[in-house]
Amino acid sequence: MEPTLTDDNVRIALSVQGTEHPVLSLFGEYSPRLGQFSKNYHMVEENRSRQDYARKNFGFFADLLEETDPFTLAPLEIIAIWARLTDFELPRYESARMLAFRYATEYVDGALGSSGRYNFETGGFPPEACITPDQIEAMGKRVEDVRLSVDNIQEYIDGLPDAVREIVRLTRTGDTQKVAELIRLIEDRKNIPHINSLEKLQISENFGNGILELRMSMSEAVRHLF
């Protein structure tokens, strides 16, 4: 059972101290390579050009992920990974997509699990992967696990479950006073130092975009099956 997010364990995860995880070990072992890529990446000025640079040169990160031992992506683990990844200033959407792909294909049979770089660079799956509907379904369930972990992090930041939905609900009822109170409570909470640091990691946005792109490639693969 995953531990509940508390102020204490979130602070520890943000510091990365005492957190052991196969992905975290990559940042130590391949620090020079990751650092050099990040330096070159940020020298590219225009955003679209920077995205193209990442697509052509960051696929090695998917290879490194495939070489790790099996891992989980519980909320505290994601926080620690993202804190370290942010230190290196690596592309966040792209990293989230590759991380989710690696996790999603961990226990999928066939060549699919070794196609992370191909999926990142092309948006598709290699012919030799021989994708099946069962494989896509299995991937989808594990991608959903990642999304739930990310949602748990956002709920901790907001201080209540599904804050956006509650604001929408109250807005529809016309209760503007309660909407304003709820927004103020959320904003006040984000002024707490460690919660402010956690929010600045932009985990929800990063994984939201990364998972969306991965799901689009999965949907396209399913479309070609029929």
Express each pLDDT in 98-151 by its tens digit.
999 999 998 876 666 678 999 999 998 888 777 888 888 999 999 999 999 999
Cα–Cα dist 121/54, whole Å: 9
Q: Model pTM? A: 0.88
Residue 136 in 3-state DSSP? helix
pLDDT higher than threshold 90 for residue 187: no
Cα–Cα dist 217/142, whole Å: 15
Cα–Cα dist 14/156, whole Å: 14
pLDDT higher than threshold 80 for residue 154: yes
Burial class of residue 36 (count of CB atoms within 10 Å of its CB; 0-12, 13-18, 19+) = exposed
63 domain residue, yes or no: yes
pLDDT higher than threshold 70 for residue 165: yes
pLDDT higher than threshold 80 for residue 168: no
167 domain residue, yes or no: no
pLDDT higher than threshold 90 for residue 226: no
Nearest to 95 by CA among 218, 200, 209: 209
pLDDT at 173: 81
Burial class of residue 34 (count of CB atoms within 10 Å of its CB; 0-12, 13-18, 19+) = buried
CB atoms within 10 A of CB 52: 12
**H-only helix segments in 44-132:** 47-57, 60-66, 75-88, 92-104, 116-122
User: Could you report the per-residue pLDDT of 20-53, keeping only the tens digit for each?
Assistant: 999 999 999 999 999 999 999 999 999 999 999 9
78 domain residue, yes or no: yes
pLDDT at 109: 66
Give the count of domains, the chain.
Answer: 1
- Greatest pairwise CA separation for the chain in angstroms: 58
123 domain residue, yes or no: yes
166 domain residue, yes or no: no
Q: Binning pLDDT at 50, 70 and 90, where does residue 78 land?
A: very high
Tell me, what amino acid is at 155?
E
Q: Which residue has the higher pLDDT, 71 or 133?
A: 71
In angstroms, how far is the first alpha carbon of the chain from the final one? 39
Q: Which residue has the higher pLDDT, 173 or 97?
A: 97
Q: Residue 116's domain spans which residues?
A: 7-152+208-223
